[in-house]
Structure 1
Amino acid sequence: MEMRFFDKQAQWAAGLAAAMLMGGGSVHALAPVDEIDPTIGTITTSADGACGKTFPGPATPFGLVQLSPDTITGGDNGSGYSAEMTTIEGFSFLHMSGVGCYGDLGNLQVMPETGSLVIGRDEAKSPYRKETEVAKAGYYGVQLDRYHVKAELTAAPHAGMLRFTFPASPNSRIKVDLTRRIGASSDSHSSAQWARQTDDHTVEGWMRCDPSGGGWGCGPGPTYTVYFSMQFAKPIKAFGTWDGGDISRALKQRSGSHTGFFVEFPTKAGEQVTVKSGISFVSIDGARANLAHDIPGWSFDAVRDQARSLWAAALSRAGAEGGAPTQRRIFNTALYHTMLDPRSVSDVDGSYIGADHQEHKAKGFVYRSIFSGWDVFRADFPLQTIVNPSLINDEVNSLIQITELGGARGLARWELMGTDAGTMVGDPGLNVICEAYLKGIRGYDAQKAYAMARGVGLGPADKSNRNDFDHWTKLGYCADGSSLSETLENSYSDYALARFATALGKTDAAAQLLKTAQNYRNLFNSGDHWFRGRNPDGGWMAADAGCVESIPTQQGWFVPQDIAGLIGLVGGRDKFVARLNDFFVHTPPDQIMRWNNFYNHSNEPVHQCAFMFTYAGAPWLTQKWSRFICDNGYKTGPGGLDGNDDVGQMSAWYVLASAGLYPVSPASGVYILGSPIFPKVTLRLDPKYAKGKSFTISAPNTSAANIYVQSATLNGKPLTRAWVTHEEIARGGTLSLKMGPEPNKLWGAGSGEAPPSITK
């Protein structure tokens, strides 16, 4: 197994041992880690559906365990936590961040109690006060007013730890619900459970989850088993179990369909009781080994400090300097949110459960899960190609494995625990693989990857993610209910696959793919001067039909592979710029992250729009509107992400745009330059994939007034184009931008060197 900053097991153990030797003293290696605010975006419910759906609890970078408080089970609350809710039902070990659907996981929920035993989650909830809640990188704490217990949480890559400070009580307990699972309904649950007390300090068991339990609510649900090995620092003197309403204090093990267990003990005022648990999706032995490896001792502070240290190292990959404190908090929290998924679901020895539900062992990569493809191929994965290229190798290998083992037809669109939910449109797995290969990230079988991608793009219909393969090749467009979204997304994917084919020397396939990459043109309605979906008989759909999470006025801008062609369709540069500018002018600043008929940043089809002006020779408008989105679409606090974070995509957009660049067409390897918020952003490069050590964007006089680029140099030489390539970034160096309060309409527009496009 490769050792990397986000999943390096040996380093974790060594660092934890060192922290314990120091008595658990705090480590303050990097200031940016203290600017992470995990409460940003932690609303899951609102009147108009605008919410971030993140969670405030501790995790490690791309770690398996994500331990957090739960305020709700069921409904469109994928994280299980919403900041405006006033009660907590427990603390579970597995969460999903920013999902725009009902979610899943939420397993192994722990809750401290005093007084009489209360089994039901709703009945046992405790009120809490927001002023007692503390959330930092690797730490969460809160006071449970009903039980007068302080709860503290911290996490390791494969294990978690809870510390409860109890009041004086003759009857305190820690209760563990094995049934609970976040999902589509308040009755979502694991389908079977088993637990056994193995000694005076340890309880082990498992929870089996399948679609019958009502978890994932957006397409086929996954089947998985969560194994745990839980240890209590205080010896277990009284142990009990339940199954439904049947409670027993005599059984030392129990199986059932609505099962849990509890340990009871008297406590003195201020007595701390610590609990830790290893988690595995493979076996109890795996959970036991994960716990022994990640948290061998009992120092809560040492585990917390090591988690913080891992986040400090992770954030050093993209460091922002200067700017306002609020901007740095948003930036560093956004970077944090991009490094939660796709998480490792392997044990410390590399074992994992594949899409065939059998045990496998990863060789040369870390097996990962939670790939929100339709969202993250746009900005999140392009960001990781720069700062975490080994993660991209992991994900490509994981996608290949999932397809090989039958977890997806073609390549997964939205993968969860080895199952392709099939939700959303397009071929995002293909997009990610093609971009990776073209950027020199090639730690996988390229021919196999191409064959799978080809199966999606041009192969037999029964291997395709496309619902109407024949329509794609014969009609030249997708003709199902989401005709417009499908056609435009697939046109981009064929462009990406054409570039991959060219790089592999498959010139005939590349030529064919470049032709179908132009299929978007077949949905341009000359009468409307814009795009419309079409029916199988060639007739046009209604003007507001044919889209997924967008409307035609929004989806129609998604032609990232051929903006020169799009400019021609709408009547030339001037008309293109006027129409795109109007798209932003009519967007109310307070609605930019909420549903409206113009620029709707909370849904991905428009994410590239602010950077498209550059293709038409108006980069100053890219600078204006990208800064507008940064300033109006992102805030601090629970409402800071006024739209689903979409497993890091919304956050990645901010990281890149605030640094001053964005990949309109990721497979092209081109980043359009915008308006950097920070005087300096440094992207650290991986020497395995890049020639340089770092790439710095320097804009020393940027400010709220100075938002326009006046001139630029790249490594000391004048740069007259408003874009850079991935190769230039990978070589390292410094991009210097001189900023000013008025646009310089000659810079980036007068050279005639437009970014690459199919028709150029």
Structure 2
Amino acid sequence: MKKTYLLTMAAALSVAPAVAQDPAGYVNPFIGASTSEGAAGIYHGLGKTFPGAATPFGMVQLSPNTITGGDNGSGYSYEHTSIEGFAFTQMSGIGWFGDLGNFLVMPSAGPLQTHAGSAKHPEQGYRSNYDKASEKASAGYYRVKLTEHNILGEMTAAPHSGIMRFTFPAGQQSRIQIDLARRVGGTSVWQEIKVLDDRTIAGYMKCTPDGGGWGNGDGKANFTVYFYAQFSKPFTKHGVWSADIPADWTRKRDEVQSDRYQQRVASAKVIPGVKAFEGKHLGFYTDFATTENEAVLLKAGISFVSIDGAKANLEKEIADWAFERVKQEAHTSWNKALAKVNIEGGSEEEKTVFYTALYHTMIDPRQFSDIDGRYIGGDGKVHQPTNFNKRTIFSGWDVFRSQMPLQTIINPGLVNDMINSLVTLADETGNQYLERWELLNAYSGCMIGNPAVSVIADAYVKGIRKFDIAKAYTYAKNTVEKFGNGTKGYTSGGLSVSLTLEYAYFDWCMGQLSKALGKSADAKLYTARSANYRNVFDAEKGWFRPREDDGSWMAWPAEGRMRQGYGTIESSPYQQGWFVPHDVPGMTKLIGGKDKVLQELTTFFDKTPENMMWNDYYNHANEPVHHVPFLFNRLGAPWLTQRYTREICARAYRNAVEGLVGNEDVGQMSAWYVLAASGLHPVCPGSPRYEITSPVFNSITFGLDPAYAKGSQFTVRTRHNSRVNVYIQRAWLNGKPYAHSYIDHAAIAAGGELELEMGPTPNKSWGIK
């Protein structure tokens, strides 16, 4: 059950000390690893990250799972007191009802139990309480002591496979069991398993919307997870269990968690010695005797293509049983990935927050292709591209703002992969438009807008162009025509303000892409459409307001523009109304001029609660306002951008379980911090401009990709930086005085150094040109 108390720092303290040459040593995977509504003060919960083992953008994540149902997309929450198993696939930081959490492995002892049991009564199933003090996590590694049978669990990962080590007490009925039906937010609807020899099993789990999962089935996730697994100890006694699930039972989230469903699972038929089996709700077990502190290992490869693919993934990545080697390789892979940003200065806490944030930006978009490059396409066929790696989990509405712009600097090849993945998916499905929230080939339709158009435009203007631009352009155009403000020039109804403003921005992105490609007629058309945000501004009320189908204004509530959900999604008109990133001068004029806007924005920040949890003002816990602190640069008051971004970095990010004030959202929340703490952040992706702000650290160096950049690195360096000296006094770019509060992507890609002299009071003459 969820508890409503604030979480402790215990998890944060489990991270080993680190040195500058070991950025992975600063990673604390427990930051954000809570779904607690009580601590967050809102149903969205906290960070919803997972603490388990992963590799950079890898297919596999080996992580503890404490819950199957509810709005618990990561499958884990720090305040839960029992673990139901360790799964090979997880999602990071998502809201809505989650998915994956497949191939759930659990060590146990004593009589076989075929269902997990409940959080209130873990003893009624294979779920186990655990010793919180024993729980430790680092980049690529996780361990915990299960107290039910005194078993130590450890796990580490490779990109397409993983290995677990369970240390048992002495016993005649020790066991490793695998729940093949389990899935976060529901169940897999069909499973097959084969015992290939006395150490090896293989099979698959089919996951469809009928089994819930993403959005409780509304997200249309439809995928099959194939596995190939081996045990270090040969089978002396093994079998499967099979629950009798009636054909007329629905199998979504609430039904799967119901008492009657769990009673069926608890009374599942146990079939010893079986070599092959298929069914609706299966599990596998192997029993064995153990001596005191005997370690038994399980390793498995995962594939979304085939069993052969899973086998090849495992054999090429973990050919032996060298757990410590795989653990070290995972750590090394993180050091290589995190070294793309090198920081100097700052406190130990700030370094931990920074490198953990950077770590969280490198979970997704993850590998979807096997080690040989093959992937399952949107047409259900196997494809093997020659010029990109297939990626999945594109949380578009979130990540177009900070996460993808960050990757354009440090991982431009990844951005290229993601665009290729979205374009080929549009091709393979025959949809011929770009999905806004893609999960394992699903067009989930989650959230709003046309974020893929922003990502493509942003990449193209920054020189990231290794994709079929003709198809990308066609599908981007199809997207904004299918989802847009239409002939009325606005979108009516319950999301009128959010949709109209966001569609206007994405039309602007389409105009920028058209302009870059020399398509002047389209450039003119879409640039003109980008002004449609004005059509939901009510001059009488002086703010943005939703419209009805007939053009009339929706009734004005007592709370006015402060009303959450009044024509908006996950925001109020007061918060969403600032989203005109492509035309800040036009928005400023509409609202009443620069002085009024500066006054409004200052109030917006000054009324934000100290802890920055979910609130009615600057709500950093959710994406619609993430660009707002940087608007001051555009309004001729860059010292306020410097002030407020430093405050947000200090107040909204901490080295604690509750260290993220809102959902991580697949890298977005953390990417905001990485960029802002580095002194750079865009207001308007699709433009190559980054706003300059006050860095947290004395020096931040970005490693650049020679395939996309002329320079080898770009450094933001400071003089006299401190928690007091947060204001930029002067600046130099490559040794020459620099008077602008912004910088172009081309200047970053050329390599060099931006130097900032800091002081305790604003210099109101710098950065206003």
Could you state the TM-score of these two structures normalised by the residue count of structure 2? 0.91
CA deviation map 1:259-286 (0-9, x unaligned): 0111111000011111100000000000
User: Helix, strand or coil for the counterpart of 1:705?
Assistant: coil
Q: 2:62 aligns with which of 62, 67, 71?
A: 67
Paired residues of 2:230 and 2:298 also in contact (CA < 8 A) = yes
Match 1:593 to one of 574, 589, 613:
613
Counterpart residue number, 1:538: 551
Equivalent-residue separation in structure 2 for 1:339 and 1:377 (angstroms): 15
**Is 1:615 aligned to residue 628 of structure 2?**
no
**Greater CA drift, 246-255 or 152-161:** 246-255
SS of 1:667's equivalent?
coil
Alignment of 1:178 with 2:191, yes or no, is no
Query: Aligned runs of 1:472-483 on 2, under 5 Å?
Result: 472-483=485-496
Aligned to 1:700: 719
Partner of 2:37: 46
Task: Note if contact 2:620-2:661 (Cα within 8 Å) is conserved in structure 1.
Answer: no
In the alignment, what sits opposite 2:514? 501
- 1:724 and 2:743 aligned: yes
Pair 1:321-2:320 in alignment: no
SS at match of 1:682: strand
Letter in 2 for 1:650: M
For residues 672 and 665 of structure 1, the distance between their equivalents in structure 2, rounded to whole angstroms, comes to 10
Deviations 1:281-329 (A, max 9, x none): 0000000000001101110000000000000000011122110111110
What 5-or-longer segments of structure 2 have no aligned partner? 1-17, 118-124, 244-267, 557-562
Map of 1:396 onto structure 2: 419
How far residue 409 of structure 1 moved from its aligned partner, in angstroms, is: 6.2
Corresponding residue number in structure 2 for 1:571: 592
Residue of structure 2 equivalent to 1:36: 27
**1:96 and 2:91 equivalent?**
yes
Distance of 1:479 and 1:626 partners within structure 2: 34
Counterpart of 1:430? 453
**What's the offset of the Cα at 1:28?**
8.8
Tell me which amino acid in the other structure corresponds to 2:739: T
Match of 2:6 in 1: none
Letter in 2 for 1:701: H
Hey, what does 2:255 align to over in structure 1?
A: none
Counterpart of 2:655 in structure 1: which amino acid? T
Residue 408 of structure 1 and its aligned partner are, at CA, apart by 5.1
For 1:364 and 1:593, how far apart are their aligned partners in 2? Answer: 43
Match of 2:761 in 1: 742
Correspondence 1:32-181 to 2 at 5 A: 32-47=23-38, 48-49=42-43, 50-122=45-117, 123-181=125-183
Preserved contact between residue 144 and residue 151 of structure 1 (Cα < 8 Å): yes
Amino acid at match of 1:144: L
User: Match for residue 757 of structure 1?
Assistant: none
Match 1:357 to one of 362, 374, 380: 380
Q: Does 2:681 correspond to 1:662?
A: yes
Alignment of 1:299-698 (within 5 A): 299-406=322-429, 410-458=433-481, 464=482, 466=483, 469=484, 472-543=485-556, 544=563, 545-590=566-611, 592-594=612-614, 596-698=615-717
Whether the 8 Å contact between 2:432 and 2:475 is mirrored in structure 1 is: no
For 1:52-75, what per-residue CA distance to the aligned partner results, in whole angstroms no more than 9, with x for missing partners?
Answer: 000000000000001100000011
Is residue 177–residue 259 contact of structure 1 (8 Å, CA) maintained in 2? yes
Structure 1 CA distance, aligned partners of 2:433 and 2:413? Answer: 23
2: CA distance, partners of 1:29 / 1:344: 29
Farther off after superposition, 647-656 or 531-540: 531-540
Amino acid at match of 1:343: R
Aligned counterparts of 1:399 and 1:628: Cα–Cα separation in 2? 36
- How far 1:474 sits from its partner (Å)? 2.2
Task: Give me the whole-angstrom Cα distance separating, in 2, the residues matched to 1:89 and 1:708.
Answer: 50
Tell me the distance in 2 between the aligned counterparts of 1:333 and 1:71: 22
Query: Residues of 2 paired with 1:406 and 1:331: CA distance?
Result: 39
2:686 aligns to what SS in structure 1? helix
Equivalent pair of 1:83/1:638 in contact (CA under 8 Å): yes
Equivalent residues in 2 for 1:158-237, closer than 5 Å: 158-183=160-185, 188-217=186-215, 219-237=218-236
Deviation at 1:225, TM superposition (A): 0.6
Checking the alignment, whether the CA contact within 8 Å between 2:237 and 2:273 is kept in structure 1 is: no
Q: Cα deviation per residue 1:331-389 (whole Å; 9 max; x = unaligned)?
A: 00000000000101101111111111221112210111100000000000000000000
Secondary structure of 2:585's match?
helix
Please state whether the residue corresponding to 1:666 is helix, strand or coil: coil
CA distance in 2, matches of 1:98, 1:340: 10
Shift of 1:220: 3.0
> Structure 1 residue 542: deviation in Å?
3.5
Per-residue displacement from partner, 1:567-596 (whole Å, max 9, x unpaired)?
Answer: 111222111111111110111112x231x2
Give the C-alpha shift of residue 700 in structure 1: 3.4
What's the CA shift string for 1:501-545, capped at 9, x where partnerless?
Answer: 011110011001110000001111111111111112111123442
Q: Secondary structure at the match of 1:647?
A: coil
- Work out the CA distance in 2 between the residues paired with 1:680 and 1:646: 27
Alpha-carbon distance in structure 1 between the residues aligned to 2:20 and 2:761: 40
What secondary structure does 2:57 align onto?
coil
Q: Please say if residues 140 and 157 of structure 2, whose CA atoms lie closer than 8 Å, have aligned partners that are also in contact.
A: yes
Q: Check the 8 A contact 1:108/1:176 in 2, yes or no.
A: yes
**What CA deviation, in whole Å up to 9, does each residue of 1:223-258 have, x standing for no partner?**
111110000111111111110110011312211111
CA distance in structure 2 between the partners assigned to 1:407 and 1:313 by the alignment: 38
Tell me the amino acid that sits aligned with residue 138 of structure 1.
G
Q: Give 3-state SS (helix, strand or coil) of 1:282's partner.
A: coil
For residues 657-708 of structure 1, give each alpha carbon's deviation from its aligned partner in whole angstroms, at most 9, with x where no partner exists.
0111110001111110111100011010000000010110001321110110
Q: Percent identity?
A: 49
- 1:86 alignment partner AA: T
Inter-partner Cα distance in structure 1 for 2:214 and 2:333: 30
- Letter paired with 1:228: F
Q: Partner amino acid for 1:301?
A: E
SS at match of 2:205: strand
Q: Secondary structure at the match of 1:231?
A: strand
1:284 partnered with 2:307: yes
Secondary structure of the equivalent of 1:142?
strand
State how many pairs are aligned: 709
- Distance in structure 2 (CA, Å) of the matches to 1:107 and 1:383: 30
1:304 and 1:536 map into 2 onto residues whose CA distance is 58
Query: How far is 1:423 from its partner?
Result: 1.4
Whole-angstrom CA distance in 2 between matches of 1:191 and 1:409: 29
Write out per-residue CA displacement over residues 398-442 of structure 1, whole angstroms, 9 at most, x where no aligned residue.
001111122756211110010111011110011111111111101
In 2, distance between residues paired with 1:373 and 1:722?
28
Per-residue CA deviations over 1:126-168 (Å, capped at 9, x if unaligned) read 1112110010000000000001100000000000100000000
Residues of 1 paired with 2:140 and 2:479: CA distance? Answer: 40
Q: Distance in 2 between matches of 1:644 and 1:287?
A: 31
Q: Alpha-carbon deviation of 1:30?
A: 3.2
In structure 1, how many angstroms separate the alpha carbons of the residues matched to 2:173 and 2:590?
Answer: 74
Distance in 1 between residues matched to 2:424 and 2:180, nearest whole Å: 30
Cα deviation per residue 1:195-235 (whole Å; 9 max; x = unaligned)? 11101110111100100001111633211111100001111
